Amino acid sequence: MKHRIGRVEGEILRELTKILRKDIRDPRLSDVTITAVECTNDLSYATIYYSLLSEDPEKEQEVSEALDKAKGMMRHLLGQVLTVYKVPELIFKRDNSVKYGSKIDRLIAEVRKQDAERNGK
Protein backbone atom coordinates (compact mmCIF):
# COMPACT_ATOMS: atom_id res chain seq x y z
CA MET A 1 0.00 0.00 0.00
CA LYS A 2 2.85 2.42 0.83
CA HIS A 3 4.29 1.94 -2.65
CA ARG A 4 0.99 3.02 -4.22
CA ILE A 5 0.82 6.15 -2.04
CA GLY A 6 4.36 7.06 -3.13
CA ARG A 7 3.44 6.66 -6.79
CA VAL A 8 0.32 8.81 -6.38
CA GLU A 9 2.37 11.48 -4.55
CA GLY A 10 4.88 11.56 -7.40
CA GLU A 11 2.12 11.77 -9.98
CA ILE A 12 0.43 14.63 -8.10
CA LEU A 13 3.77 16.47 -7.87
CA ARG A 14 4.42 16.14 -11.62
CA GLU A 15 0.90 17.09 -12.65
CA LEU A 16 0.59 20.06 -10.27
CA THR A 17 3.90 21.42 -11.55
CA LYS A 18 2.55 21.20 -15.12
CA ILE A 19 -0.75 22.79 -14.08
CA LEU A 20 1.03 25.69 -12.37
CA ARG A 21 3.18 26.32 -15.44
CA LYS A 22 0.54 25.93 -18.16
CA ASP A 23 -3.00 26.36 -16.83
CA ILE A 24 -2.93 28.78 -13.90
CA ARG A 25 -2.62 32.33 -15.19
CA ASP A 26 -2.27 34.10 -11.82
CA PRO A 27 0.91 36.24 -11.86
CA ARG A 28 1.24 35.88 -8.08
CA LEU A 29 2.09 32.20 -8.60
CA SER A 30 4.90 32.73 -11.10
CA ASP A 31 7.68 32.24 -8.48
CA VAL A 32 6.12 29.22 -6.76
CA THR A 33 7.91 25.87 -6.87
CA ILE A 34 6.23 22.72 -5.59
CA THR A 35 8.80 20.80 -3.57
CA ALA A 36 6.94 17.82 -2.10
CA VAL A 37 3.58 16.09 -1.76
CA GLU A 38 2.41 14.00 1.20
CA CYS A 39 -0.85 12.05 1.04
CA THR A 40 -2.82 10.49 3.87
CA ASN A 41 -3.10 6.68 3.89
CA ASP A 42 -6.60 6.76 2.40
CA LEU A 43 -5.55 9.35 -0.25
CA SER A 44 -8.31 11.75 0.85
CA TYR A 45 -5.92 14.64 1.61
CA ALA A 46 -2.72 15.73 -0.08
CA THR A 47 -0.43 18.26 1.60
CA ILE A 48 1.41 20.22 -1.07
CA TYR A 49 4.66 21.85 0.05
CA TYR A 50 5.80 24.86 -1.95
CA SER A 51 8.73 27.26 -1.80
CA LEU A 52 9.24 30.85 -2.84
CA LEU A 53 12.34 32.69 -3.92
CA SER A 54 11.20 35.77 -2.00
CA GLU A 55 11.34 36.18 1.78
CA ASP A 56 8.88 39.10 1.72
CA PRO A 57 5.98 38.37 4.14
CA GLU A 58 3.60 40.39 1.96
CA LYS A 59 4.50 38.29 -1.11
CA GLU A 60 4.10 35.14 0.98
CA GLN A 61 0.57 36.22 1.97
CA GLU A 62 -0.33 36.97 -1.68
CA VAL A 63 0.91 33.56 -2.80
CA SER A 64 -1.04 31.83 -0.04
CA GLU A 65 -4.25 33.62 -1.08
CA ALA A 66 -3.63 32.84 -4.77
CA LEU A 67 -3.09 29.14 -4.03
CA ASP A 68 -6.30 29.00 -2.00
CA LYS A 69 -8.16 30.68 -4.84
CA ALA A 70 -6.74 28.31 -7.47
CA LYS A 71 -7.16 25.17 -5.33
CA GLY A 72 -10.52 24.20 -6.88
CA MET A 73 -9.31 24.52 -10.45
CA MET A 74 -6.10 22.62 -9.67
CA ARG A 75 -8.10 19.79 -8.09
CA HIS A 76 -10.44 19.68 -11.10
CA LEU A 77 -7.53 19.53 -13.56
CA LEU A 78 -5.83 16.86 -11.41
CA GLY A 79 -9.00 14.79 -11.57
CA GLN A 80 -8.75 14.70 -15.36
CA VAL A 81 -5.27 13.14 -15.33
CA LEU A 82 -5.00 11.13 -12.09
CA THR A 83 -5.81 7.46 -12.05
CA VAL A 84 -7.46 7.42 -8.61
CA TYR A 85 -11.10 6.98 -7.69
CA LYS A 86 -11.32 10.20 -5.67
CA VAL A 87 -9.05 13.22 -6.12
CA PRO A 88 -7.51 14.22 -2.78
CA GLU A 89 -8.36 17.50 -1.08
CA LEU A 90 -5.37 19.85 -1.53
CA ILE A 91 -3.73 21.54 1.45
CA PHE A 92 -0.93 24.00 0.71
CA LYS A 93 1.92 24.59 3.17
CA ARG A 94 5.06 26.69 2.83
CA ASP A 95 8.25 24.64 2.68
CA ASN A 96 10.83 26.43 4.81
CA SER A 97 13.70 24.02 4.12
CA VAL A 98 15.28 26.39 1.57
CA LYS A 99 15.23 29.25 4.07
CA TYR A 100 16.59 26.94 6.78
CA GLY A 101 19.37 25.71 4.48
CA SER A 102 20.49 29.25 3.66
CA LYS A 103 20.51 30.09 7.38
CA ILE A 104 22.77 27.08 8.06
CA ASP A 105 25.08 28.12 5.20
CA ARG A 106 25.33 31.63 6.67
CA LEU A 107 26.15 30.25 10.12
CA ILE A 108 28.84 27.92 8.73
CA ALA A 109 30.42 30.80 6.80
CA GLU A 110 30.39 32.91 9.97
CA VAL A 111 32.08 30.17 12.00
CA ARG A 112 34.73 29.67 9.29
CA LYS A 113 35.41 33.40 9.24
CA GLN A 114 35.81 33.49 13.03
CA ASP A 115 38.04 30.44 12.89
CA ALA A 116 40.23 32.02 10.20
CA GLU A 117 40.54 35.20 12.28
CA ARG A 118 41.51 33.19 15.36
CA ASN A 119 44.13 31.17 13.48
CA GLY A 120 45.49 34.22 11.72
CA LYS A 121 46.28 36.08 14.96
Q: Determine the length of the chain.
A: 121
What does each C-alpha distance from 119 to 47, 96, 106, 108, 114 come to in angstroms? 48, 35, 20, 16, 9
pLDDT confidence bin for 12, thresholds 50/70/90:
very high
| Single-letter code of the amino acid located at 101 | G
The angle formed by the CA atoms of residues 8, 101 and 113, to the nearest 5 degrees, is 165
Residue 54 has pLDDT above 80, yes or no: no
Residue 98 has pLDDT above 80, yes or no: no
Instruction: Quote the pLDDT of residue 29.
Output: 86
Please give the residue that has the higher pLDDT: either 20 or 54. 20
pTM, two decimal places: 0.79
pLDDT confidence bin for 17, thresholds 50/70/90:
very high
Of 84, 66, 85, nearest in space to 24 by CA:
66
Average pLDDT for the chain: 87
Over residues 57-75, mean pLDDT: 90
89: which strand partners? 45
